[in-house]
């Protein structure tokens, strides 16, 4: 393209609008910047008020340190900040802000008023800015702290104004953001007002669990499992869903690192890994993760809106999170529980599986309850499968057992599937097939259509312990089978495996085929003797994920001794 114009410096207001676009793209980003400033200012109480999705009105009030009168104009200059001094500070950031850009950006695209007072002066100061230009300034009586009011967002950038969504969509994003901030900062009282009514208000007493009950639903809050772990400089606090509570998307996964809400592929992966094979496909856990690391272990300056961070040792972070979650999941409190209300109440209130993050109705009704809640932090005892006394089976399907606190039902098929699957995967991984020759070899046929895939499959089957030899154009003779299977299991598994071979046998498909074939194979084993049951449980104990079958269904459910005593009205 031919350039017609000479190069010239853009007028300040145009440059400001361009720069503002990086920081402020919709109402929620303004709320985020203002709330983060309040947190950095050491506030113990923050009120956020919005009207019409924040498009018309946003107010953030805090009781933090305030801005000295002589610095107030400076706070609105681009790259003016009190939070870092030089380049070295960039590698050790202890505050949420550090760019000195937020206030300048917000003021460039709205009408803004700030009222602020530091503790050591009697009278506060006020500044009014419209589209970046100061239009009013003076002294004012006000409490310690800072209030920023932003009105008419994007009044001077019509293109951006058009891109804002309906009020409800914009306010949902803000409610979601403030809710999460309230969880991450349990020591700060946070109040959210939407269209003149209070949505929630936390007490600032440091109790995250209580805040979950206030902001989210009681049903969820009561079920989440608490995770606490520390290793060297790494510290994690988290609330995670048990296996029977899950969602159809990742929206209920919230990550905070050093008090900063972020999106992170590393943490996404850690969560998937921790719940791998424990949830049905396409289902995701609810997790609130609060990680604290040495600020020098990460870079927060990789994205203009600070939504991402770079961990210097992402593998270490990932495995720390995976281990912390897994050990909590492998505790008694993480098992699906039989609750008496399920037995006696006719209308069991279904938990809406696709429940959105913030349900205002429950939120409002829980607010009153929450004021009276005495938070019970139940010690989550480790579940030791080996300590379960097996007593027998019922309905030919469920194994019964107990330990000192609970009665357990174990789904025999699910347990068996888990054992089979892990044994096969281990054999394949180590490529040390463990076979038993069979006295009377049998023949299996295959459809010609899959012939091209067979060499690949034969290798996999050999790794599992099958020895097959060609036996005519569309048959194999099976001479040995995996040593842990009996003949009928081995036959059914093989038939099912062959049935499922499609066109592409890449590694992922083989896993799936094996998962499905395990399911068929264990059907062969319906009535087990007590000895066999105990052997199965012993095998289950040795697996990596004993609490679910490879399809993600639970292997074990519990009914606590306390619930039993309650039903018999003994307590
Ligand atoms: N609520 C507040 N209370 C006290 N001081 C504040 C408050 N908000 C802003 N300030 C002061 O104004 C300065 C500029 O704020 P601004 O948000 O523009 O930049 P920042 O927070 O330093 O960096 P960033 O652009 O990354 O947010 C801050 O460094 C801080 O000194
Ligand atoms: Mg800031």
Q: What is the pLDDT of residue 434?
A: 82
Give the span between the Cα atoms of 556 and 547, in whole angstroms: 6
Tell whether ligand 1 has an atom less than 6 A from the beta carbon of residue 220.
no
Query: Which tokens sit at 337?
Result: 């529980």
**pLDDT tens per residue across span 476-508:** 899 999 988 888 888 888 888 887 776 555 555
- CA separation, residue 463 to residues 152, 370, 519 (Å): 68, 57, 20
Distance 4 CA to ligand 1 centre (A): 41
User: Closest Cα partner for 407 from 399, 415, 395?
Assistant: 399
Q: What is the pLDDT of residue 94?
A: 84
Average pLDDT value for the chain: 84
Residue nearest to atom 9 of ligand 1 (CA): 37
What percent of the chain stands above pLDDT 70? 89
Query: Which tokens sit at 218?
Result: 């009681």
Q: Which atom of ligand 1 is nearest to the CA of 306?
A: 26
Residue 156: pLDDT band (50, 70, 90) is very high
Of 371 and 163, the one with more pLDDT: 163
The DSSP H or E segment spanning 50 is strand 45-51
Residue nearest to atom 8 of ligand 1 (CA): 37
Q: Per-residue pLDDT for 561 more than 80?
A: yes
Distance 210 CA to ligand 2 centre (A): 28
Residue 1: pLDDT band (50, 70, 90) is low
Q: Per-residue pLDDT for 142 more than 60?
A: yes
Of 37 and 474, the one with more pLDDT: 37
Contacts of 303 (CB under 8 A, 6+ apart): none
Q: Per-residue pLDDT for 287 more than 80?
A: yes
Give the span between the Cα atoms of 111 and 115, in whole angstroms: 14
Of 523 and 212, the one with more pLDDT: 212
Mode of pairing for the β-strands spanning 298-299 and 260-262: unpaired
Q: Which domains does the chain have, with CATH numbers?
A: 12-200 (3.30.565.10), 208-344 (3.30.230.10), 384-571 (3.30.1540.20)
Q: What average pLDDT does range 88-104 have in this prediction?
A: 85
Q: What angle do CA 250, 252, 258 make, to 5 degrees?
A: 100
Q: What is the pLDDT of residue 342?
A: 41
**pLDDT tens per residue across span 347-401:** 333 333 333 333 444 433 333 333 333 233 344 567 788 889 999 888 888 999 9
Residue nearest to atom 19 of ligand 1 (CA): 100
Side by side, which strands form the sheet with 389-394? 389-394, 398-402, 406-411, 556-560
Q: What is the pLDDT of residue 354?
A: 34
Q: What average pLDDT does range 225-247 have in this prediction?
A: 91
User: Closest Cα partner for 92 from 236, 298, 260, 256?
Assistant: 298
Distance 211 CA to ligand 1 centre (A): 27
Residues around ligand 2, an ion, CB closer than 5 A: 37, 97, 102
CB 562 within 8 A of CB 341: no
Q: What average pLDDT does range 33-50 have in this prediction?
A: 97
Q: What is the pLDDT of residue 366?
A: 39
User: Where is average pLDDT lowest: 204-213, 362-371, 398-407, 512-521?
Assistant: 362-371
Tell whether ligand 1 has an atom less than 6 A from the beta carbon of residue 62.
yes
Ligand of minimum distance to the alpha carbon of 106: 1
Q: Per-residue pLDDT for 205 more than 60?
A: yes
User: Where is average pLDDT lowest: 76-90, 111-125, 279-293?
Assistant: 76-90
Q: What is the pLDDT of residue 525?
A: 59
Chain-centroid distance of CA 66 in Å reads 35
The DSSP H or E segment spanning 62 is strand 57-62
**pLDDT tens per residue across span 293-349:** 998 888 887 777 778 889 999 999 999 999 999 988 887 666 777 765 444 333 333
User: Where is average pLDDT lowest: 38-47, 92-101, 406-415?
Assistant: 92-101
């Amino acid at each position: 393209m031919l350039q017609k114009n000479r190069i010239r410096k853009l007028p300040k207001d145009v440059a400001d609008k361009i720069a503002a676009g990086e920081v402020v793209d919709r109402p929620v980003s303004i709320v985020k910047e203002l709330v983060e400033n309040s947190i950095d200012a050491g506030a113990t109480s923050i009120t956020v008020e919005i009207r019409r999705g924040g498009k018309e009105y946003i107010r953030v009030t805090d009781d933090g340190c305030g801005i000295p009168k002589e610095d107030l104009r400076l706070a609105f200059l681009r790259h003016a900040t009190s939070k870092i001094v030089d380049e070295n500070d960039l590698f050790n950031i202890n505050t949420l802000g550090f760019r000195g850009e937020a206030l300048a950006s917000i003021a460039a695209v709205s009408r803004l008023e700030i009222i602020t007072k530091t503790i050591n002066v009697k009278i506060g100061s006020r500044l009014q800015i419209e589209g970046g230009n100061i239009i009013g300034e003076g002294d004012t009586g006000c409490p310690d702290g800072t209030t920023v009011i932003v009105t008419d967002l994007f009044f001077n950038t019509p293109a951006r104004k058009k891109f804002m969504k309906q009020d409800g969509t914009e306010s949902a994003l803000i409610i979601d953001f403030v809710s999460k901030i309230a969880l991450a900062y349990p020591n700060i009282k946070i109040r959210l007002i939407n269209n003149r009514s209070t949505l929630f208000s936390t007490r600032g007493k440091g109790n995250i669990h209580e805040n979950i009950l206030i902001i989210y639903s009681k049903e969820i809050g009561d079920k989440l499992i608490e995770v606490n772990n520390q290793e060297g400089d790494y510290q994690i606090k988290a609330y995670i869903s048990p296996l029977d509570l899950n969602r159809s998307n990742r929206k209920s996964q919230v990550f905070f690192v050093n008090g900063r809400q972020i999106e992170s592929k590393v943490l996404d992966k850690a969560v998937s890994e921790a719940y791998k094979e424990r949830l049905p496909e396409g289902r995701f856990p609810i997790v609130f993760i609060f990680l604290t690391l040495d600020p020098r272990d990460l870079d927060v300056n990789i994205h203009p809106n600070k939504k991402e961070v770079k961990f210097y040792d992402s593998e270490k972070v990932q495995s720390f999170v995976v281990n912390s979650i897994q050990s909590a999941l492998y505790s008694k409190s993480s098992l699906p529980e039989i609750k008496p209300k399920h037995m006696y109440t006719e209308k069991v209130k279904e938990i809406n599986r696709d429940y959105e993050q913030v349900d205002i109705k429950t939120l409002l009704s829980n607010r009153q309850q929450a004021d009276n809640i005495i938070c019970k932090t139940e010690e989550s005892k480790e579940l030791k499968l080996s300590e379960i006394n097996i007593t027998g089976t019922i309905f030919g399907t469920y194994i019964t057992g107990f330990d000192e606190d609970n009665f357990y039902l174990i789904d025999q098929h699910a347990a068996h599937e888990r054992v089979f699957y892990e044994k096969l995967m281990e054999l394949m991984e180590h490529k040390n097939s463990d076979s038993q020759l069979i006295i009377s070899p049998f023949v299996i046929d295959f459809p010609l259509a899959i012939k091209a895939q067979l060499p690949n499959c034969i290798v996999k089957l050999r790794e599992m312990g099958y020895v097959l030899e060609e036996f005519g154009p569309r048959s194999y003779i099976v001479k040995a089978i995996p040593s842990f299977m009996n003949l009928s299991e081995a036959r059914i598994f093989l038939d099912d495996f062959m049935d499922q071979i499609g066109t592409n046998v890449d590694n992922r498909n083989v896993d799936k085929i094996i998962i499905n074939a395990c399911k068929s194979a264990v059907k062969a084993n319906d009535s087990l003797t007590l000895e066999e049951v105990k052997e199965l449980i012993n095998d289950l104990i040795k697996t990596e994920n004993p609490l679910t079958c490879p399809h993600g269904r639970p292997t074990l459910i519990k009914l606590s001794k306390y619930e039993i005593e309650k039903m018999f009205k003994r307590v």
